[in-house]
Structure 1
Amino acid sequence: MHYIIVTEFETPSETSCRIKGLLSTDAKNLETYFLGFHINCSNMQDFFEVDISGDQVLQILGGSSFNYSVISQSMAIENTAIGGRTVKIQKLVWTMGK
Structure 2
Amino acid sequence: MLALRSSSRSVVRATSRLQPVFARGLATASDPYDVVVIGGGPGGYVAAIKAAQVGLKTACIEKRGSLGGTCLNVGCIPSKAMLNNSRIFHQTLHDTKARGIDGHR
* TM-score between the two structures when normalised by the length of structure 2: 0.24
Structure with the greater relative contact order (CA < 8 A, sep ≥ 6): 1 or 2?
A: 1
Q: Structure 1 or 2: larger strand share?
A: 1
Larger Rg: 2
Larger % of helix: which? 2
